[in-house]
Homo-oligomer: A and B are copies of this chain.
Amino acid sequence: MRKRISLKDIANELQVSTAVVSYVLNNKYEGRISEEKAVRIKEMAKQLNYFPNYIAKSLRKYKTLTIGLIIADISNLFYSNIVRYIEDESKKHNYNVIFGSTDESTDKFKDLVQVMLSRQVDGIILAAPKGTADTLVYLRDHHIPFVLIDRYFPSVSDINTVGINNYQASYAVVEHLVANGYKKPAMVTLSADLFHMQERAMGFKNASMELLEIKSPEVIEIKEEVLSEEIESQMLSLLKDGIDLVYFSTNKIAMEGLAVLVKHNIKVPEEMGIICFDEADAYKIFNTSITFVKQPLQQIGSESVEMLISLINGNRFAKSIVLGTQIIAHNSSAPHKKSSK
């Protein structure tokens, strides 16, 4: 089948040992091998179309130049974007990426970690699902380089993370909507098992209480599995209750929620203001331009790769990077009709 050229082939061809060939092709031959021979070896390598066997290299060097990437779902817009940035940054450092999706399943996650380790990845970037603190502790205690992205596990100390300040992001959303005259906002979110989602909700709640003096801010939690069935009635009842702006906590929820507005021909922002978490190309086909919270996806990607590589290279200092978010204001949260200066 596939008979690739090995160091030995080059060595045989030129009647030298494999050692010289290895030295030369790795440019570690100064003061060892004559320039003349080095040149001939390089030429022969090119002529035979030699490419090193990374598997053999890896076995010997204990480095695979491979990063494991574990996310919730590669087909999810948010992740596929981050993944692209991680891919690009990894390539810059000559690393490859092997990935897997958890679908937020603890079991799948643990399997994936084990698979990655069996394949001797040099490190792992992961968005861990709930209930996996023990795995993170295991990785940490075994000094396996990893970076937690997007998520937080406050119960696990001394780990490396890259993410955003979800509390603050939501707080800023409320500040924005208050500034634009909205008085009765609601948040629609997924049933919050994950800490960062809880933070996102807390930011909204606290800001609503503090800035709008709402005693019990409206936060609707919907289970992911029944999202598309339940969101319609929930949205309609929010409208009936006089909610003047809805804040969707993720892209996916936003799509479903906006679909309800379209279906019932609810005017945005006149009847209901809208703010979404995360950017989407698709927002532009909605009839009103959408205000959204923009996460620095590229930075999350590049910082996490850099951090991981620094860990791989022996850095032992736990570090958390918290990146800022931006509110990109558009018409869906434009100054409210009922507002008055």
> Contact residues of A with B, CB < 8 Å?
1-2, 4, 51-56, 58-59, 64, 66, 73-77, 80-81, 83-84, 87, 91, 96-101, 114-115, 117-120, 142-144, 255, 258-259, 262, 280-287
Contacts and interface: CB of A to CB of B under 8 A. Distances in A.
A136 to B, nearest CB: 16
A97 B96 contact: no
Given A262-B286, A262-B287, A287-B262, A51 B97 contact: no
Contacts of A262: 284-287
A302 to B, nearest CB: 14
A283 B284 CA distance: 11
Chain copies in complex: 2
A142 to B, nearest CB: 6
A274 B75 CA distance: 25
B98 A98 contact: yes
B66 A75 contact: no
- Pairs of residues from A and B, 5 with the lowest C-beta to C-beta distance, nearest first: A282-B282, A80-B80, A75-B84, A259-B284, A258-B285
B100 A87 contact: yes
Nearest to A297: B75
Contact of A101 (B52, B64, B87, B144): B87
Contacts of A66: 98, 119
Contact of A74 (B54, B56, B80, B283): B80
Given A58-B55, A96-B119, A120-B53, A255 B80 contact: no
A87 B74 contact: yes
Nearest to A56: B59
A96 B98 CA distance: 7
A98 B97 contact: yes
Nearest to A91: B100
Contacts of A55: 55, 58-59, 64, 119-120
A137 to B, nearest CB: 15
A69 to B, nearest CB: 10
B64 A75 contact: no
A311 to B, nearest CB: 10
A80 B87 contact: no
A121 to B, nearest CB: 10
Contacts of A281: 255, 282
Contact of A285 (B74, B80, B144, B259): B259
A95 to B, nearest CB: 10
Contact of A2 (B83, B96, B142): B142
A96 B115 CA distance: 9
Nearest to A85: B75
Contacts of A114: 51
Nearest to A258: B285
A80 B82 CA distance: 12
Nearest to A79: B80
Interface centre among A66, A262, A281 (most CB of B within 10 A): A281
